Every structure is written in C-alpha cells, then in structure tokens.
Structure 1
Amino acid sequence: MFSFLKPDPIKKLRKHYDQKLEQAMQAQRKGDIKTYSLLTAESETIWHQIEALEKSNK
C-alpha cells in the first residue's frame, strides 16, 4: 500500500557507486594509483550488486 515510502536499495547503491568512482578519479588525479585501483575494485563490486538487484526485481 505504501510502497513509495520504502527506501529503494538500488538508488542507495547507485549513490554509493557514484561516490566511489568520484573518489577513485580524485585519487588518480593525485597520482595515487594504488588507492585508485582499490576504489575502482570496490565500485565494481557495488555495480555487480546493483545488477543482481535489478535482475531480481524484473
């Protein structure tokens, strides 16, 4: 009935994914390649979670 009041986990994960990519970009600009690669790997993990949730919702 009030499904619009429930938080959307995909929206939350996308926001977190975008933040990780932004942090990775900043690390790359500073020349910190190790941190860049770690943040990119974390963002890929988040992206796989988003894809899994989208498939389960269909």
Structure 2
Amino acid sequence: MKDSFIAISIFSLAIAIIIGSWLISNGSNDKKVQFVHEETSDLEKNKEKQLLTQSEFR
C-alpha cells in the first residue's frame, strides 16, 4: 500500500510540474505578443511626430 502511495505521489507531482510549466510558457508567450504590439505602436507614434526626415535635416 505504501509503495502505491509513493508511486501515485510521484506521478501527481510530475503532472503538476508539466501543467505548471505549460501555464508559465503560455503566459510568457502572451506577454511577448503584447510587447511586440506595444513596440510597433510606439514606432508608429514616433513616425507621426517626426517633422523632418534625415536628409532634410542635413
């Protein structure tokens, strides 16, 4: 009985680690996508604010 309890405990721990790492990886992927969208919108804002091009400035 004790052997089966240990086996079930190890199996449960393995499943919990797999699910936890899967959730963490999904969370970080969502943040990367959000970061890319924020970076693109910042670039678009900077283009709108630019008054002179590089060649016009010289």
Report the TM-score when normalising by structure 2.
0.46
Identify which of structures 1 and 2 has the higher relative contact order when contacts are C-alpha pairs closer than 8 Å and 6+ apart. Answer: 1
Specify the structure having the higher radius of gyration (Cα).
2
Report the TM-score when normalising by structure 1.
0.46
